[in-house]
Amino acid sequence: MKDTYDVVVIGSGPAGATYARTIRTAAPNARILMVESGPAVTDPLGRHVRTISEPRERVAAQFASQGPAANPADYDEAVARALSPSRGRSSGLAARPGTWLLNPTPTSNGETGFQAAALSSNVGGMGIHWSGASPWPGIGERSTDLSDREFDSALDEARRLLLVTQHAFDHAPLGAEVRHLLGNHYDAGRRADRRVQPMPLAMEVQQTGERYWTGPGAMLGDLLVAADADGFELRAETTARRILTRNGDADGVLLYDRREDREYEVGARFVVVAADSLRSPQLLHASGIRPTALGHYLNEHTMTTSTIQLDPSLRAAAEGVRKTSEGAVDLLAGVSWIPFDERTFPFHGQITQWDASPIPVDASFEAWPGSVVECSLFMGKVDVRFEDRVEFDDDELDFFGMPAIRIHYTFTDNDQARLDQAVREAGRVGELLGSAINGLEPVVMPHGASLHYQGTTRFGTDDQTSTLDTRMRVWGTDNVYVGGNGTIPTPAACNPTLTNVALSVVGARNLAERI
């Protein structure tokens, strides 16, 4: 007889962790099984890699998350890079540590392509590799299909689960000065909560001053300690290959155990698919659950980044300030936020300060604490189109034995015009703060490089243009829920994880009530 669970959660990133945590709190007796394709790479499980101070151990965890690209030949080089203050930021197609490039089919039919699309596969998903920026969406970024009351309540819960704070760098050098300069230019006419401010970050600042970045392990908390005996179990290296259905509703999941190379079935009253924006539609497709909008409306944040040295006149303000980075994994000295404003600034501005240059500089370059600033502007896609989509090839299987992923994506003339505006705006931020290092123009990152893929399982009120209803349930099913960045229905410009977690709270609350 097959084992039956109240809920099977597929994927162990922030979205899966939110569902498991929220359901378990509301329904303490619920039996929950979480399955994860990738391996357990940290101890404790789901711990953020930035909290691992031993570089070799940290790099090993990153490598093990890289699925088919976990190539040990690069290991020594990766450790050396992890130890270097100059991280050698790539403007090309290199995958970020902990991720691997999907390498989707080459561009065809005049499409732009999505060359830098990347994924992570490990317990905790990208949530153990992320930078923790957790801004909330403003007017023009938020969907109007949920009431403000419901969405704001879910956002509050998301902040609590992710341990979001705006005080992580209160005593860092030059943060206030940077915000003052930017605020003078951007704050006029904005509501108080949409002015330049410290970036909300998912981390705990401990008594010692050390920063503990939030990973899904921190979100699951005692669920991991109580383990199986208490009705929650996490199975790593276990891929959900198909949701089993009867009369259109889920009644189990077909699982593949990679270590034992065997398939088996479990029963489920509810299934939660939280397998990222490309692989949640992949699993639904493989299961024959295919609403019209599934995989469509793909959009991401196209990014432009410039690296600036603060004006020397600010140097005096940094004198005597303790270096904030001592003992930390990197030389990060603070992050500020220029929020999206639909009238005047249709971008999300992320202003990161460093104690050393993240890009190569010559020997004469002199940095002082907090003086090197990376200004990244994210833009939401202007034209969100049905044609931009993730598709699956039933005749070719990927590394995990699932239908291979193909992406169709086109950056339109309207999108390009918005990007040109972003590049000009990034130049303006540079002028407000100092001067570009090496005289470099802002760099535009390749498509897919944001790692923030939205829309592919979006929610809404129309079953032809959305994949989920407003309870995050797949249209046409009664008991299949989805979590992830793909659920975000708008081309919001701000980083997606806080919104992803808030929408997962909406789905989990509904599911828990039904248990």
Question: How far is 7 from 24, CA to CA, in rounded Å?
Answer: 10
- Closest approach of ligand FAD to the CB of residue 32, in Å: 14
Task: Give the torsion sign (CA, 508, 509, 512, 513).
Answer: negative
- Closest approach of ligand FAD to the CB of residue 316, in Å: 31
For residue 473, what are the contacts with CB-CB under 8 A and spacing of at least 6? 479, 480, 481, 482, 507, 510
Question: How far is 201 from 169, CA to CA, in rounded Å?
Answer: 10
Specify whether the CB–CB gap between 310 and 373 falls below 8 A.
Answer: yes
**In this chain, which stretch among 116-124, 219-227, 386-394, 415-423 interacts with ligand FAD, using CB under 6 A?**
116-124
For residue 103, is it left (φ>0), alpha (ψ between -120 and 50) or beta? left
The residue from 485, 488, 506, 507 that contacts ligand FAD (CB under 6 A) is 485
The residue from 104, 113, 127, 489 that contacts ligand FAD (CB under 6 A) is 127
Tell me the two tokens of residue 33.
Answer: 């099984």
Rank residues 13 and 380 by Cβ distance to ligand FAD and give the closer one: 13
The residue from 5, 8, 9, 14 that contacts ligand FAD (CB under 6 A) is 14
- For 480, the 3-state DSSP assignment is strand
Residues facing 211 on adjacent strands? 205
Specify whether the CB–CB gap between 483 and 468 falls below 8 A.
Answer: no
Confirm or reject binding of residue 122 to ligand FAD (CB under 6 A).
yes
Q: Which of 301, 408, 447, 452 is catalytic?
A: 452
Phi and psi, residue 506, nearest 5°:
-60, -50
Confirm or reject binding of residue 352 to ligand FAD (CB under 6 A).
no
Confirm or reject binding of residue 240 to ligand FAD (CB under 6 A).
yes
- Closest approach of ligand FAD to the CB of residue 354, in Å: 15
Instruction: Give the largest Cα separation in the chain, rounded.
Output: 74
Question: How far is 499 from 485, CA to CA, in rounded Å?
Answer: 8
Confirm or reject binding of residue 172 to ligand FAD (CB under 6 A).
no
Residues facing 378 on adjacent strands? 303, 348
- Closest approach of ligand FAD to the CB of residue 174, in Å: 21
Place of tokens 């949920």: 146
- Closest approach of ligand FAD to the CB of residue 124, in Å: 7
**In this chain, which stretch among 94-102, 180-188, 243-251, 341-349 interacts with ligand FAD, using CB under 6 A?**
94-102
Confirm or reject binding of residue 334 to ligand FAD (CB under 6 A).
no
The residue from 132, 173, 346, 349 that contacts ligand FAD (CB under 6 A) is 132
Confirm or reject binding of residue 120 to ligand FAD (CB under 6 A).
yes
Confirm or reject binding of residue 299 to ligand FAD (CB under 6 A).
no
Confirm or reject binding of residue 62 to ligand FAD (CB under 6 A).
no
The residue from 130, 151, 169, 270 that contacts ligand FAD (CB under 6 A) is 130
Q: Is 185 a catalytic residue?
A: no
If one counts every other C-beta atom within 10 angstroms of the C-beta of residue 204, the result is: 14
If one counts every other C-beta atom within 10 angstroms of the C-beta of residue 327, the result is: 10
3-state SS string for 62-99: HHHCCHHHCCHHHHHHHHHHHHCCCCCCCCCCCCCCCC
Task: List the interface residues with ligand FAD, window 19-58 (CB under 6 A).
Answer: 35-38
Tell me the two tokens of residue 432.
Answer: 């407000």
- Closest approach of ligand FAD to the CB of residue 89, in Å: 12
Tell me the two tokens of residue 84.
Answer: 């270097």
Confirm or reject binding of residue 133 to ligand FAD (CB under 6 A).
yes
Number of residues interacting with ligand FAD: please give it, by CB under 6 A: 39
The residue from 496, 505, 506, 511 that contacts ligand FAD (CB under 6 A) is 496
- Closest approach of ligand FAD to the CB of residue 348, in Å: 10
Confirm or reject binding of residue 287 to ligand FAD (CB under 6 A).
no
Q: Considering only CA atoms, give the Rg of the chain.
A: 22
The residue from 168, 220, 372, 451 that contacts ligand FAD (CB under 6 A) is 451
Rank residues 205 and 321 by Cβ distance to ligand FAD and give the closer one: 205
How far from chain centre, in Å, is Cα 201? 13
The residue from 165, 214, 239, 467 that contacts ligand FAD (CB under 6 A) is 239
**In this chain, which stretch among 143-151, 189-197, 290-298, 496-504 interacts with ligand FAD, using CB under 6 A?**
496-504
Residue 184 burial class via C-beta count within 10 angstroms: exposed 0-12, middle 13-18, buried 19 and up: exposed
Q: How far apart are the first and last CA of the chain?
A: 23
Rank residues 132 and 346 by Cβ distance to ligand FAD and give the closer one: 132
Residues facing 263 on adjacent strands? 256
3-state SS string for 195-264: CCEECCEEEEECCCCCEEECCHHHHHCHHHHHCHHHCEEEECCEEEEEEEEECCEEEEEEEEECCCCEEE
Single-letter amino acid, residue 411: F
If one counts every other C-beta atom within 10 angstroms of the C-beta of residue 125, the result is: 30
Binding mask 253-282 for ligand FAD (x = CB under 6 A): ---------------------xxx--x---
Confirm or reject binding of residue 96 to ligand FAD (CB under 6 A).
yes
Rank residues 130 and 368 by Cβ distance to ligand FAD and give the closer one: 130
- Closest approach of ligand FAD to the CB of residue 12, in Å: 6
Q: Which residues are catalytic?
A: 452
Contacts with ligand FAD by CB under 6 A lie at: 10-16, 35-38, 96, 98-99, 120-122, 125-127, 129-133, 239-240, 274-276, 279, 283, 451, 484-485, 495-497, 500
